[in-house]
Amino acid sequence: MSRPSRGISGALIWRRAYWLRREPGRKGIAIYLLVPALFFLPLGESGPFPRSAVQGLLIVILSLALGIRLGGGRGLRAEDQVWLSQKGVSLGDVALEDWILDLLPMAALSLWWGLTAYLASIGEGWRPLSVFVVSGTAFLLSLLTRTLVGVISAFGYRGAGDLAAGLIVISFLLFQVSFFVSPAAQTAIRLGTLPIFRIPEAVRALLEGDLAVAAPDLLHILALLGVMLWATYWRMERWRPLV
Amino acid sequence: MSLSPADPLEGGQARPTGTVFIEARNLEVGYRSKGSFNPGLKGFSATFGPGITGLIGPNGAGKSTFLRTVCGLLEPRGGELKVGGKSPRAYVETHGVGFLPEVPHFPSFLTVGEFLDGVAGALADGAKPSADYGYVPGLDLLLDRGVQELSQGQRKKVALGAALMGAPEVVLLDEPTNGLDPVAVRELRELLAELGRQGFTVVVSSHHLDELQRLADALVFVLDGKALGSWSREEALSAFGSLDVLYEQAFFGRIS
């Protein structure tokens, strides 16, 4: 007899309610949809930073916030899982189903941000390809962050969002340091930190067909996603909610 | 009482009384806390068959620990526990059980209907999300309510609805009547009696001895992580007159 599974449609019943009422919630969704209106303001034109840098920073912040909140420990608590566990459902499957479903809001919002950034910048000569560069970057940023928070939560750390944010800050600082060190140290830093701040360049290179530049970082991202998902599944298969 | 595809009263698999469905031999189970090991069960041996078995004993005796172990939430560290001839985890993964924790928690962002539909979607027997959860009296009136709005007794009803969904052959109830009003207690008693008649293996941990005296087919007294004794209801009543007397004699060491 095979193990029961909720399947994607069963998982969607709880996940949809989670999106609408918890993370990001209706207010959060409205904020994610409305903040890109800032792209249409003359941001940065009279300040020290170029307009595109301000837009980029906003998109990075939105993407990281979305990833951290979707994967956060405020999702299913341990004691909530007992209802699925007692019916024989694999909790590893539950974690993977939720991860797959979270791709939907991440993809939709990333596309929205890419589209609004492009529309706000047509006058500055942005090409249509920019939509996909911005959307792809936002999607990979939120995906990597969501998966990171998910694996930290799976191992029982309650402040998973805070820890993930800390790791992202450290990766950012080391990314800046890497410009001033030897090639060997640069490689070590690249492999040992989250590839979050290399995503924009990798996505742009991919869309422009420059595989030699895009491939190493994209492979790093894929490998990291694979390892984190496997670790999440492995841990959740062995864990039992103690109520 | 209305029926639904997930209705335990419709899907029960009768077993003849007298067969053993849950068997514990010298069971050792405990909790790890701050580096030390706290034993919950120490050499617990007892058998449970179809019908209703009451687990009685003082607080901290190991009753809830036993139910959690049968449910596969805790791993035995020693001895043996078989459920339907399998290890608890193997049994739960293939058949599922119905477990009602003493204090039920739910995902706080759901309505009752969404919660129950989500659990129903997990069942392998073809049960589909259904608007009819009438096998627990009054449950269908709560479907549109948020789980956070519920009173303690209403939470118990919702939890019971989820536990009994899919008609699991093994039903484990930890203090099921706590927080229920007298009418709900009577309705629960009728529901459990029906499950017992149909041959479900129902284990009820409770301090409400008068309820168990009316309901249980068999009794197991748990003290200090061990099963001190087990009796059929008839044996218990003929030997002690009432469960209150049995409890006091067992608690004060007059039963070996």
Contact residues on chain A for B68, CB-CB shorter than 8 A: 242-243
User: pLDDT at position B106, please?
Assistant: 93
Neighbours of B73 (CB within 10 A): 21
Q: Do residue B73 and residue A6 have CB atoms under 8 angstroms apart?
A: no
- Report the distance separating Cα B169 and Cα B201, nearest Å: 6
User: pLDDT at position A191, please?
Assistant: 86
Q: From first to last of its 256 residues, what are the pLDDT tens digits of chain B?
A: 333 434 555 544 444 555 779 999 999 998 877 777 788 899 999 999 999 999 999 999 999 999 999 999 999 999 999 999 999 999 999 999 999 999 999 998 999 999 999 898 877 554 455 556 778 888 889 999 999 999 988 999 999 999 998 889 999 999 999 888 898 888 888 989 999 998 899 999 999 999 899 899 999 999 999 999 999 999 999 988 888 898 888 888 766 6
Q: Is B71 on the interface with A (CB under 8 A)?
A: yes
Q: Which residue of B92, B99, B109 is in closest CB contact with A17?
A: B109
Q: Which residue has the higher pLDDT, A76 or B156?
A: B156
Share of chain A above pLDDT 90, in %: 55
Q: Are B119 and B193 in contact (CB under 8 A)?
A: no
The full set of domain ranges for chain B reads: 21-252
What is the rounded average pLDDT of the residues A46-60?
Answer: 77
Q: Do residue A86 and residue B166 have CB atoms under 8 angstroms apart?
A: no
- Report the distance separating Cα A83 and Cα B123, nearest Å: 11
User: pLDDT at position B4, please?
Assistant: 40
CA closest to A12 among chain B residues:
B118
A25: closest CA of chain B, how far (Å): 10
Q: Is B11 on the interface with A (CB under 8 A)?
A: no
Q: Are A112 and A29 in contact (CB under 8 A)?
A: no
Structure-derived torsion over alpha carbons of residues A67, A238, B28, B160, reported in degrees to the nearest 10: 60
Tokens of B199: 């041959």
CA closest to B90 among chain A residues:
A88
Q: Are B43 and B27 in contact (CB under 8 A)?
A: yes
The structure tokens 């207690």 sit at B185
Q: Do residue A10 and residue B121 have CB atoms under 8 angstroms apart?
A: yes
Q: Do residue B124 and residue A4 have CB atoms under 8 angstroms apart?
A: yes
- What's the CA angle centered on A146, arms A144 and A150, to 5 degrees? 115
Q: Is B121 on the interface with A (CB under 8 A)?
A: yes
- Report the distance separating Cα A113 and Cα B77, nearest Å: 54
Contact residues on chain A for B103, CB-CB shorter than 8 A: 243
Q: Do residue A87 and residue B99 have CB atoms under 8 angstroms apart?
A: no
Interface test with A, best of B119, B156, B171 (most A CBs within 10 A): B119
Q: Do residue B105 and residue A77 have CB atoms under 8 angstroms apart?
A: yes
User: pLDDT at position B2, please?
Assistant: 33
Q: Do residue B114 and residue A242 have CB atoms under 8 angstroms apart?
A: no
Q: Is B33 on the interface with A (CB under 8 A)?
A: no
**Residue A141, pLDDT above cutoff 90:** yes
User: pLDDT at position B6, please?
Assistant: 46
Residues A179-211 pLDDT 10s: 899 999 998 998 889 998 889 888 888 888 888
Q: Is B221 on the interface with A (CB under 8 A)?
A: no
The whole-model pTM stands at: 0.88
Tokens of A42: 């003359």
Q: Do residue B93 and residue A88 have CB atoms under 8 angstroms apart?
A: yes
B65: closest CA of chain A, how far (Å): 10
| Residue A243 pLDDT level (bands cut at 50, 70, 90) | low
Residues 6+ apart with CB under 8 A from B122: A4, A5, A6, A10, A84, A87, A89
Contact residues on chain A for B173, CB-CB shorter than 8 A: none
Q: Are B221 and B227 in contact (CB under 8 A)?
A: yes
Contact residues on chain A for B31, CB-CB shorter than 8 A: 242
A9: closest CA of chain B, how far (Å): 8
Residues A142-184 pLDDT 10s: 999 999 999 999 988 878 888 999 999 999 999 889 889 999 9
Q: Is B111 on the interface with A (CB under 8 A)?
A: yes
Q: Are B97 and B84 in contact (CB under 8 A)?
A: no
Q: Which residue of B73, B114, B122 is in closest CB contact with A84?
A: B122
Which segments of chain A does DSSP mark as H helices, in order? 7-21, 25-34, 51-71, 82-85, 91-121, 129-154, 160-177, 183-192, 199-207, 211-238
Interface test with B, best of A16, A20, A83 (most B CBs within 10 A): A83
Q: Is B92 on the interface with A (CB under 8 A)?
A: yes
Q: For B21-252, which CATH class?
A: alpha beta
Interface test with A, best of B31, B66, B95, B105 (most A CBs within 10 A): B105
User: pLDDT at position A215, please?
Assistant: 92
The structure tokens 């694996």 sit at A151
| Residue A3 pLDDT level (bands cut at 50, 70, 90) | confident
Tokens of A190: 């690249």
Contact residues on chain B for A21, CB-CB shorter than 8 A: 109
Q: Do residue B95 and residue A1 have CB atoms under 8 angstroms apart?
A: yes
Give every strand in the sheet of B98-100, ordered side by side.
B98-100, B170-174, B201-205, B51-56, B218-223, B226-232
- Report the distance separating Cα A154 and Cα B120, nearest Å: 24
The structure tokens 């993964």 sit at B93
B80: closest CA of chain A, how far (Å): 19
- Report the distance separating Cα A82 and Cα B71, nearest Å: 10
Count chain A–chain B contacts defined by CB atoms under 8 A: 102
Tokens of A202: 């990798």
- Backbone torsions φ then ψ of B2, nearest 5 degrees: -85, 160
Q: Which residue of B96, B106, B109 is in closest CB contact with A87?
A: B96
User: pLDDT at position A46, please?
Assistant: 60
